Chains A and B, each alone.
Chain A
């Protein structure tokens, strides 16, 4: 540091706003401010400043291949603040793509953009209003979505930091933003990543998948004002075109019955341990064996009765929040959930009994 700099530093105290303005107008990506300062901005700046600082931190952490650095920072976002951005990948694979809608912006007229925006909003509201959770990380993390990803892409995914949706091929699959539970499913992968961090293969992977379906269906049921008895328990309704013989991608009420089609084959989900898939496809059947814990949730929610998100949802959410081990088997998850049910609603109560019975019915206990 030169003497002049020292002098000016003494004369004029460091001004956060000036620093941000200087840096952010000069270069939006290169990281001039040291990380600790960015962290300070990310914690205490205005909403725009925090967003910029977070992005800069996130990008530099990505460059260093250390996303965990960003994950560890405790952001002080005001409770209940919802921040969404939607990008258009323009049928390419570069993420996130072109920014097309920010928080509070009017509808764009692009169905996928607007569905991704509304779906992320409904999911945010669900977590906030039911569990008091502030976004994916419980610290107001901005919800990023990219639509029109790749060409005729038959998929939606969570890439570790954002949601991504394909247009579908048009012959078998429609656009992947069509079902609210798909959006809530993807966003829940983010929640799981920040909480139980269930390893994405084998039984823990199937539990990870099931968590996404469980919370996905609850977001839908709450929007539709449906009790557990009234709900259809179908995941991804409307994703198939009318060329496909099926009601949706998965059925939590009757795993293995969602579709049976000459081209796509039959829904492979088991509802019992007798038929658990043990091959290597799909990371050891994470989307297949999720049928077992999915069915358990359906059994428990209908046994307790009323709105699924009120009691069954609370048990699952509490267990997801760092109670279930990241490498849990079905049996270990069952034991944790039963314990949590006892803590919340009393040992030997109706809720705990419903859980024990359900896990026995699927052959886990």
Chain B
């Protein structure tokens, strides 16, 4: 017999499944990182966003490594800052990976050592 309507639906569903899982795989593979800097004497907000999808292989690798070194997903959302000192920068970092987002807000004075290389790398982008 020729192609029945049932066959057609199965094929369409199959194609849809392949397409969706393909999209998800792409989403899983990429990582978006953004650095927002506020405060400082001037109080001007600057934001930098990078996506591994648009970076070269080496740079994408570097970025992943820096996020891993920082153990970013385990950092608290807000890192407390000391009360002394004025006009320091405040950073807000956001990493989106595997469809999950994590944000960390920290003062320039209390950036953990493990997080410093990531901020430096992003600042220079």
Interface residues of A (CB under 8 A from B): 67, 154-161, 173, 176, 182, 185-186, 189, 193, 199-200, 208-209, 212, 236, 239, 249, 264-265, 268, 280-283, 286-288
Residues of B within 8 A of A157 (CB): 40-41, 85-88
Interface residues of B in 29-47 (CB under 8 A from A): 36, 38-46
B41 interface neighbour in A160, A161, A182, A265, Cβ under 8 Å: A182
| A249/B86 in contact, CB under 8 A | no
**How many angstroms from the CA of A287 to the CA of B45 in the assembled complex?**
11
Given contacts A155-B89, A265-B44, contact A287 B39 (CB under 8 A): yes
Given contacts A236-B41, A288-B43, contact A280 B88 (CB under 8 A): no
Residues of A within 8 A of B57 (CB): none
| B43/A200 in contact, CB under 8 A | no
| A159/B41 in contact, CB under 8 A | no
Interface residue B64 (Cβ < 8 Å from any Cβ of A): no
| B84/A193 in contact, CB under 8 A | yes
Considering the complex, give the chain B residue whose CB is closest to the CB of A279.
Answer: B38
**Which 4 pairs between the two chains have the least Cβ-Cβ distance?**
A287-B43, A160-B84, A281-B38, A157-B87
| B39/A281 in contact, CB under 8 A | yes
B92 interface neighbour in A67, A154, A176, A281, Cβ under 8 Å: A281
| A156/B39 in contact, CB under 8 A | no
Residues of A within 8 A of B92 (CB): 281
Residues of B within 8 A of A156 (CB): 41, 87
Considering the complex, give the chain B residue whose CB is closest to the CB of A209.
Answer: B86
| B38/A249 in contact, CB under 8 A | no
A283 interface neighbour in B41, B44, B90, Cβ under 8 Å: B90
| A158/B85 in contact, CB under 8 A | yes
**How many angstroms from the CA of A312 to the CA of B5 in the assembled complex?**
86
| A249/B42 in contact, CB under 8 A | yes
Can you give 25 contacting A-B residue pairs, CB < 8 Å? A155-B40, A155-B88, A157-B88, A158-B86, A159-B84, A161-B84, A173-B42, A176-B41, A186-B86, A189-B86, A189-B87, A193-B84, A200-B85, A209-B86, A212-B86, A249-B41, A280-B105, A281-B38, A281-B39, A281-B90, A281-B92, A282-B38, A286-B39, A287-B42, A287-B43
**How many angstroms from the CA of A358 to the CA of B49 in the assembled complex?**
42
**How many angstroms from the CA of A249 to the CA of B86 in the assembled complex?**
16
Given contacts A280-B105, A281-B38, contact A208 B86 (CB under 8 A): yes
A282 interface neighbour in B84, B85, B90, Cβ under 8 Å: B90
| B45/A236 in contact, CB under 8 A | no
Given contacts A281-B39, A282-B38, contact A158 B45 (CB under 8 A): no
| A155/B83 in contact, CB under 8 A | no
Chain B nearest CB, measured from A257 CB (Å)? 15
Residues of A within 8 A of B84 (CB): 67, 159-161, 193
Interface residues of B in 63-113 (CB under 8 A from A): 83-90, 92, 105
Chain A nearest CB, measured from B123 CB (Å)? 10
**How many angstroms from the CA of A173 to the CA of B89 in the assembled complex?**
15
**How many angstroms from the CA of A182 to the CA of B86 in the assembled complex?**
13
**How many angstroms from the CA of A200 to the CA of B84 in the assembled complex?**
8
Given contacts A173-B42, A249-B41, A282-B38, 11 further A-B contacts (CB under 8 A): A155-B88, A157-B40, A157-B88, A161-B84, A182-B41, A236-B42, A268-B43, A268-B45, A281-B36, A283-B39, A288-B43
Chain B nearest CB, measured from A300 CB (Å)? 23
| A154/B40 in contact, CB under 8 A | yes
| B83/A199 in contact, CB under 8 A | yes
Residues of B within 8 A of A209 (CB): 86
Chain B nearest CB, measured from A58 CB (Å)? 13
Chain B nearest CB, measured from A331 CB (Å)? 23
Residues of A within 8 A of B83 (CB): 199-200
Residues of B within 8 A of A155 (CB): 40-42, 87-89
Considering the complex, give the chain B residue whose CB is closest to the CB of A159.
Answer: B85
Chain B nearest CB, measured from A123 CB (Å)? 15
Considering the complex, give the chain B residue whose CB is closest to the CB of A158.
Answer: B86
Considering the complex, give the chain B residue whose CB is closest to the CB of A173.
Answer: B42
Residues of A within 8 A of B36 (CB): 281
A158 interface neighbour in B38, B40, B87, B105, Cβ under 8 Å: B87
Considering the complex, give the chain B residue whose CB is closest to the CB of A212.
Answer: B86
Residues of B within 8 A of A186 (CB): 41, 86-87
Residues of A within 8 A of B87 (CB): 155-158, 185-186, 189, 287
